A and B are shown apart, each in its own frame.
Chain A
Amino acid sequence: MSLLEIENLSLAIHGVPILKQVDLSIAPGQIVAVTGESGSGKSMTALAVMQLLPNGAEVSGAIRLNGSELLNRPEAEMCALRGASIGMVFQEPMTALNPVKTIGDQVMETILIHKAMPPAQARVRAEEVLSRVGLPPDRFPLSRFPHELSGGQRQRVVIAMAIALRPKLLIADEPTTALDVTTQAQILELLKGLVSEYDMGLLMITHDLAVVADMADRITVMRHGEVVESGATQHLLGHMRHPYTRMLFEASGHQVTLPEPVEPQPLLQVSQVVRDYRLPRKALFDRPGHHRAVDGVSFTLNKGERLGLVGESGCGKSTLTRAILGLEEVQSGAIHLDGQPVFTGHRPNLAVRRKMQVVFQDPYGSFNPRHRVARLVTEPFHLLESPPTGAERQDRIAEMLTAVGLSPDDSGKYIHEFSGGQRQRIAIARALIIRPELILFDEAVSALDVSVRAQILDLLAELCATYDLTYLFISHDLSVVRTITDRVLVMQSGRIVEQGETEQVFADPQHRYTQSLIAAAPRLPQIGKEAV
């Protein structure tokens, strides 16, 4: 018999349909992955099982746990089930824990709230589960606060809370999306281990198809609140019936063809750059310590070259980006663009600044919501001595919007009228409008759905052909960097540990760190072939 059975589940919130007749079932010890793009209703399905839906939700259908119906259960009974019979792990480990309570208290709370055992015993159990998830109390005492732990460690605490009472069903909603690849691999391994050890059912919600293919026994693909296809992993990967499923997998492994780079001629020269951050003093009259975020980094970026920069969070990618943009002064070393220094004295060099533009990760946070698109894309004009005006300005706006696949008519709209992918197009238009020598893409496609990401990558390849772009593409996503760059730098704790032709580095990594990164990244299966 199934552990969890969802039948004909429909959900509307304030009358807006969110889920339409969703069917799903999970057996004990089975991992079922629900995948789809944002807005497909996968998280809502999980919240419906937990009965933690937002206000105004109307549900119909059936959700049965071990044969007993969960829908329309009294709230008190659901409270008794949550945490005890169903555990849940969320996406964002940085905010999923209460910052003012110790990890011990928070893990024990799951046990104590269900009055499963007396406090002394609960403490022992908390230590046990924390050890099980890889946080042994001799190194991670129960008295630690969440802010004293890294993201991966916090996710372990969240998992410990969810499994403290050995629930029969564990729901994990994008549990590794916010984590680095090596941490992701460890957390996935941990979840797999727990499933077989406790014979739990795991409902795993994720947009990452490589993770899905790697982990799940069964896959359910959702779109617009409907299940479009589901089946056993191997079978589904081998025989995708629905075009949407096929599109999703194709988009995830999307490859672009970049035009041949032009004759090498140095554009950006970074030599021996060091960036220190001051740490707070340990004692009142102590000398303040330093954290070296970028440690003697040197590289050259040629005109017309597409260079990738990969590394895990905290490796110094962002600091290096800020230094190149002249947003922060470096302690030693030099950065030159076209032979001119980025910093002159203690001031950013404006002559260099106007030759660089940047596209950021978050398409929602990087625009002023009160400005129209015309004003947003012309923002870089303030760097120019005589910015175009009147008809010339209009022409430039129209040209750029057309170049990124939008319409010149869009210039009068506000940013909230656009989707995430369209916003990222506008960000690219904004970067391109002054025809910079160099563009920095800082995780520019990381927040996008796979299908949208594929379109943006195509756009970039197109723009490379039309405008001879030179860019530095910073990303933690190895598969994207592999297709969109000619050469790649691998960064670890402030240093560049390996660099070379992208294909060369990925096919035959030399440095141990690069090898571990590539090994940890989940691989997308070949579509249409039954995996062995």
Chain B
Amino acid sequence: MLRYSLKRLLSLIISLAVASVVIFGVIEVAPGDPASFMLGVNAQPDTLAALRAELGLDVSKLQRYFNWVGGMLTGDFGTSYTYRTPVSQMIADRLWVSLPLALYALTLSTLIAFPAGIYAAARRGKPGDLAVMGATQLGIAVPNFWFAMMLVLIFAINLRWFNAGGFVGWETGFWTGLHSLTLPAIALALPQAAILARVMRSSLLDILGEDFMRTARAKGLSRRQALWRHGVRNALIPVLTIIGLQFSFLLAGSIIIEQVFYLPGLGRLVFQAISARDLIVVESVVMLLVFAVITVNFLVDLAYAAVDPRLRSRT
């Protein structure tokens, strides 16, 4: 198990290094000089040179790459070209919204999907299964911003249980913070839960057809006992893959939901930075997201090994 973890860790580090080169390369070859963009077309050459020096754009590309990577390792992400504030601070602020939101949504989607998927699989072809499958079909088909607007309409405008948008900040307390993230989290979670429930159901159905489930029944386990003791853990493996993918998506892909609920999240930051050609912010956020995705995959790999002993020995 330790050797397996170390191997996965090594692969994580290599992936990160490769990703950093690719991100830097792609963004550097993209046309447009941030300094001339900031100063406009009529800028004096010496002013431009001064700004380029200030932004650290006047050294060689290789040098800039190492400055960037070295800075990130020490927590210094550089200074935003447009806002003139440290990028690390900007990201940290946004991360305090996006990360809890993603985790919140993922928790909700798992809490909805697992019981729904297991319930449907256990009642394959019966009305309960059909109802769950119909609901998930709907959940996949309907876009999440529509859910978001419906939630606002019902729970914020009519019932007044939640605010229609904005984030109160964690300073006001954990529960109030969580409260203000609830509607966006639900809006994000519903389509994800629909997908996850389907994966759980089909994965469990595959397992229910396995020989060892029949062995379990022959030992005297009831249908339900066999399902819980032998089915669910084996069915988790494909489900974990989907959870990993969903977390990566939730972290950065929630830009529309952030817009609907006026949330100062990472998605909006990236969007603004791209429009303003604030390359250093774009690079840093993209790198951060890549880091998150690779880390999540690492954790999923560890989870696989925890679930499936065959992976532990196959180092």
Contact = CB atoms under 8 A, between A and B. Distances in A.
B160 interface: no
A147 B313 CA distance: 10
26 contacts: A52-B217, A52-B218, A75-B222, A79-B220, A79-B221, A80-B220, A87-B218, A88-B218, A92-B211, A95-B210, A95-B212, A96-B211, A97-B215, A98-B230, A98-B234, A99-B234, A99-B309, A99-B310, A109-B219, A109-B221, A113-B225, A114-B220, A161-B215, A162-B218, A280-B314, A284-B3
A95 B209 CA distance: 11
Interface string A44-83: 0000001010000000000000000000000110011111
A82 B44 CA distance: 89
B7 interface: yes
A130 to B, nearest CB: 15
A76 B218 contact: no
A280 B3 CA distance: 12
A110 B309 CA distance: 21
A289 to B, nearest CB: 13
Nearest to B207: A98
A82 B7 CA distance: 44
Given A90-B215, A96-B215, A99-B212, 15 more contacts: A50-B218, A52-B214, A52-B218, A79-B222, A83-B220, A84-B220, A87-B218, A95-B211, A98-B234, A99-B309, A101-B230, A109-B229, A113-B220, A162-B219, A284-B10
Contacts of B6: 284
A124 B310 CA distance: 26
B214 A145 contact: no
A100 interface: yes
Contacts of A281: 315
Contact of A113 (B221, B223, B307): B221
A337 to B, nearest CB: 37
Cβ-closest 9 pairs across A and B: A83-B220, A83-B219, A88-B218, A95-B211, A82-B220, A98-B212, A145-B309, A110-B219, A96-B211
Interface string A152-193: 000000100110000000000000000000000000000000
Interface residues of B, number: 29
Nearest to A46: B218
Given A52-B218, A148-B313, A283 B3 contact: yes
Contacts of A90: 211, 214-215, 218
A99 B207 CA distance: 11
A96 B313 CA distance: 20
Contacts of A114: 220
A280 B212 contact: no
Nearest to A280: B315
Nearest to B237: A100
B93 interface: no
A82 B218 contact: yes
Interface in A87-146: 87-88, 90, 92, 95-101, 109-110, 113-114, 145
B58 interface: no
Nearest to B6: A284
Main secondary structure of the interface of B (DSSP, over half): helix
Interface in B273-315: 307-310, 313-315
Interface residues of A, number: 35
Nearest to A165: B220
Contacts of A109: 216, 219, 221, 229
A101 B218 CA distance: 17
A99 B309 CA distance: 8
Nearest to B124: A55
B250 to A, nearest CB: 28
B27 to A, nearest CB: 34
A98 B223 CA distance: 15
Contacts of A97: 212, 215
Specify which of B6, B217, B218, B310 lies most central, judged by the most chain A CB atoms within 10 Å of its CB: B218
Interface in B173-226: 210-212, 214-223, 225
Contacts of B10: 284
B305 to A, nearest CB: 11
B233 interface: yes
Contacts of B222: 75-76, 79
B220 A110 contact: yes
Nearest to B213: A98
Contact of A100 (B211, B221, B234): B234
Contacts of B309: 99-100, 145, 147
Specify which of B3, B216, B223 lies most central, judged by the most chain A CB atoms within 10 Å of its CB: B216
B223 to A, nearest CB: 8
Contacts of B229: 109
B310 A161 contact: no
A461 to B, nearest CB: 37
A54 B218 CA distance: 14
A148 B314 CA distance: 11
A284 B7 contact: yes
A513 B311 CA distance: 35
Contacts of B307: 100
